[in-house]
Amino acid sequence: MNDPTQPTKRLVKLSPQELRKLAEIQVKKNKDNKQAALNEASVQKLLHELQVHQIELEMQNDELQQARITEQLHYRYTELFEFAPIAYFIFDQRGKITQVNLRGSNLLGIERVHLVGKSFVNYITIPHRNNFKDCLAKVFQHKGIQSFEILVHANNTTRWLSIEANLGITGIDCLAALIDVTEKKQAENEQKLAASVFTYAREGIMITDNKSNIIDVNDSFTRITGYSREEAIGQNQRFLQSSKETPEFFYGIYQALKKDRNWSGEIWNRRKNGEVYAEMATISAVCNEHGIATHYIALVNDITPMKEHQNQLEKIAHYDVLTNLPNRVLLADRLSQAMLQCSRHKHLLAVVFLDLDGFKAVNDTHCHDVGDELLIALSVRMKEALREGDTLARIGGDEFVAILTDLDKVEDCEPVLERLLLAASEPITVTNVIFHLSASIGITIYPQDNANADQLVRHADQAMYVAKGSGKNCYHLFDTAQDDAVKMHQENLEAIRNALDHHQFVLHYQPKVNLKTGIVTGVEALIRWQHPQRGLLNPIDFLPVIENNPMNIEVGEWVIDSALTQISEWKKMGLSLLNISVNIAAVQLQQSSFTQTLTSLLAAHPDVEPRYLELEVLETSALDDINHISNIMHDCIALGVNFALDDFGTGYSSLTYLRRLPASMIKIDQSFVQDMLIDVEDLAIVESVIALAKSFKRGVIAEGVESIEHCKAILELGCDLAQGNGIAKPMPASDIPAWVNQWNPDVSWQTQ
């Protein structure tokens, strides 16, 4: 296709002179041809024809030119429309798309063939359709250019379009230019959101430059600080600081911002009205592309009410409502702190437990309000009696605890204690009644009493009871040595309880023999504690601990039961002739239920004949009521068991016992036997006991026979029965059968 803008053949326009020349030439030519004369008329005529022709030609030429220009314009318009960087749509009056350019179809993502003829509202989101319709109507009402923004939804995307629509020249088209403003709109929305966050945030927001000069603040900032935006802008944020925070605190914030780019925590600032308030602040640095902080944004919340509430709660939790003195909780805290400090400074500390004497009577005879008044007045007095730095706490009705710190020696607390006693005992007038009270005080000294805070208070409390017991209105110092012993005893008791529960007790057996006949007459059951850490323990290591404890009886019963079980087992093995003697504690025997218990134990072992059981009663044990014991022994003997008097000769009333108690056997105490070879007095005692036994028709056995010489000596004195390490040491039950089988007395003894 030729470019219509390029001219092809140009028509030559002749001047009048040239036309006349042309006419003359033509007339001459005709004359030459037709022999016609050249006259002016012919020339004029021809000239006229030529002029007419010329005019016709010119006219033709203009039309052509015009058509060409029109064609050029159309081409330009099409090009402009088609390739314009803006989307163009042409709508008819009903909003149908009659034309759309390439950009327009790209904008909606729909090919033009599918767009032309379609109603444009189809692509508009429902809420915006009327907007389009209204504007379209205005265009056709000749109301000029209409600008509006609508949200379209085409090809699965939603886009914001800005439209400018105007009426076409013909008056039947609406020409519209559409621009995609989605991104702009989003940015605008984001900005609006950011602005509204800033405006409506409940947190106060303060923006500063990197020199801490305030650039902007929001309404909440004004609400919190009392400073308007205008008053705040331009100020350095330091103008809010209160003297409650130290320069070190702000230096800490500065360091955190430098290192972490943000800091959050509590700050005490000052409002415009001078009031100091607490705020929870989060400060963040805004950095440029080089990582340098250009601005700081602080978000602050006023937490003063919360703090006040917290303080109130703390007060309730830590102070006694009536006297306003620290309560038990705060006392524990203060005491722990004071203990730490005293340890650090190598000082002493006194815990003073004070209980009012006679306060209960006041409460009972007067109304409680009077009691309360009295407590308040006394607590004020007692507080005044203390030194600065000491603590007085109320931990119960009329119970107070004072902590006296930084004492060099125990005596240093005496003046304070005297003042406390005086404070409590001086007459006090409440509601026109004069009251005379006093206080009992218990003290313990830390770290001499090296206990924890709780225990210290308890120890002072214990000492207070001693003071009460010693006539009140005085003080008593806690005895740590005594407490240690009590504690140790308690621990030992618990360990023995545990040993019983975990079957850690065992019986060892020491043979008793007839030196003359060589017969093993029996064995003595001796308790041992198979301690998991300390190994095998002897009775002296643990029996004294339970001497006055009910566990003593429990252990005793366990021993009898185990011995009976052992007799039964040996019987099954053919060792039926062995009798077992069991040691009985005095308290056990004194039990009125002893006979009953023994009956039950024997009944539990029906295969064991009671005569094989011998009960050894300690001669030394203070058998208070000898009649009672005698009766019990008789009852037991009726059951078939026998008695022996153990360690005979060591008590004060050996003869009385011998006469009154129905024991069939006397065991000469080993202390006499052991020394009889070197000590004539002991020899004499042994001799006498043997003689006594014979006179009273009791059997006699020598204990603690440590050597062959001892055996010979007692045989010579007429005692055939013996027991001792010289014959056999106590041994586990399992060793007894083998020992019995192998034992042979010295041949010489049989002849003695």
Considering the complex, state which of residue 371 and residue 724 has its C-beta at the smaller distance from ligand C2E.
724
Give the length of the chain.
Answer: 752
User: According to CB under 5 A, which residues from 657 to 716 bind Mg ion?
Assistant: 703
Preceding amide of 447 cis, omega within 30: yes
Among Mg ion, ligand C2E, none, partner that 527 touches (CB below 5 to 8 angstroms by kind): ligand C2E
Say if CB 460 and CB 466 are below 8 A apart.
Answer: no
Q: Contact with Mg ion (CB under 5 A): which of 647, 682, 687, 720?
A: 647
SS (H, E, C) 12-45: CCCCHHHHHHHHHHHHHHHHHHHCCCCCHHHHHH
Among ligand C2E, Mg ion, none, partner that 725 touches (CB below 5 to 8 angstroms by kind): ligand C2E
Chain residues that interact with ligand C2E, rule: CB under 6 A: 510, 526-527, 538-540, 543, 556, 559, 583-585, 616, 618, 646-647, 670, 703-706, 724-726, 730
User: How near is the Cβ of 705 to ligand C2E at its closest, in Å?
Assistant: 6
Give all strands (DSSP E) within 101-145, no chain letters: none
DSSP 3-state of 422: helix
User: According to CB under 5 A, which residues from 527 to 586 bind Mg ion?
Assistant: 583
Q: Residue holding tokens 């006392």? A: 331
Preceding amide of 539 cis, omega within 30: no
Residue 390: left if φ>0, alpha if ψ -120 to 50, beta else—which one?
beta
The verdict on 646 binding Mg ion (CB under 5 A) reads yes
User: How near is the Cβ of 525 to ligand C2E at its closest, in Å?
Assistant: 6
Among ligand C2E, Mg ion, none, partner that 167 touches (CB below 5 to 8 angstroms by kind): none
Considering the complex, state which of residue 649 and residue 724 has its C-beta at the smaller distance from ligand C2E.
724
Say if CB 366 and CB 351 are below 8 A apart.
Answer: no
Say if CB 321 and CB 372 are below 8 A apart.
Answer: no
Among ligand C2E, Mg ion, none, partner that 1 touches (CB below 5 to 8 angstroms by kind): none
Considering the complex, state which of residue 373 and residue 616 has its C-beta at the smaller distance from ligand C2E.
616
The verdict on 320 binding Mg ion (CB under 5 A) reads no
Backbone angles phi, psi at 460, to 5 degrees: -65, -35
User: How near is the Cβ of 581 to Mg ion at its closest, in Å?
Assistant: 7
Considering the complex, state which of residue 226 and residue 726 has its C-beta at the smaller distance from ligand C2E.
726
User: How near is the Cβ of 737 to ligand C2E at its closest, in Å?
Assistant: 20
Considering the complex, state which of residue 357 and residue 647 has its C-beta at the smaller distance from ligand C2E.
647
Among Mg ion, ligand C2E, none, partner that 157 touches (CB below 5 to 8 angstroms by kind): none
Q: What is the DSSP string of 381-394?
A: HHHHHSPTT-EEEE
The verdict on 619 binding Mg ion (CB under 5 A) reads no
Considering the complex, state which of residue 225 and residue 583 has its C-beta at the smaller distance from Mg ion.
583
Q: Classify the C-alpha dihedral 141-142-147-152 as positive or negative.
A: positive
Considering the complex, state which of residue 590 and residue 670 has its C-beta at the smaller distance from ligand C2E.
670
Q: What is the C-alpha separation between 187 and 174, in angstroms, rounded?
A: 30
Considering the complex, state which of residue 409 and residue 729 has its C-beta at the smaller distance from Mg ion.
729
- For the chain, the straight-line distance linking the first and the last C-alpha, in angstroms and rounded, comes to 163
Considering the complex, state which of residue 218 and residue 674 has its C-beta at the smaller distance from ligand C2E.
674
Report the Cα 91 to chain-centroid distance in Å. 72
Residue 461, amino acid:
D
Question: Stretches 29-37, 309-317, 557-565, 608-616: which one binds Mg ion (CB under 5 A)?
Answer: 608-616
Q: In the structure encoding, which two tokens stand for residue 397, read together?
A: 């009705």
Among Mg ion, ligand C2E, none, partner that 719 touches (CB below 5 to 8 angstroms by kind): none
User: How near is the Cβ of 562 to Mg ion at its closest, in Å?
Assistant: 15
Among Mg ion, ligand C2E, none, partner that 585 touches (CB below 5 to 8 angstroms by kind): ligand C2E
Question: Burial level of 551, CB count in 10 A (0-12/13-18/19+)?
Answer: middle
Considering the complex, state which of residue 204 and residue 724 has its C-beta at the smaller distance from ligand C2E.
724
Residue 302, amino acid:
D
Backbone angles phi, psi at 43, to 5 degrees: -65, -45
Q: In the structure encoding, which two tokens stand for residue 252, read together?
A: 């800490």
User: How near is the Cβ of 531 to ligand C2E at its closest, in Å?
Assistant: 15
Task: Please give the residue ranges that form the binding site for Mg ion (CB under 5 A).
Answer: 583, 616, 646-647, 703
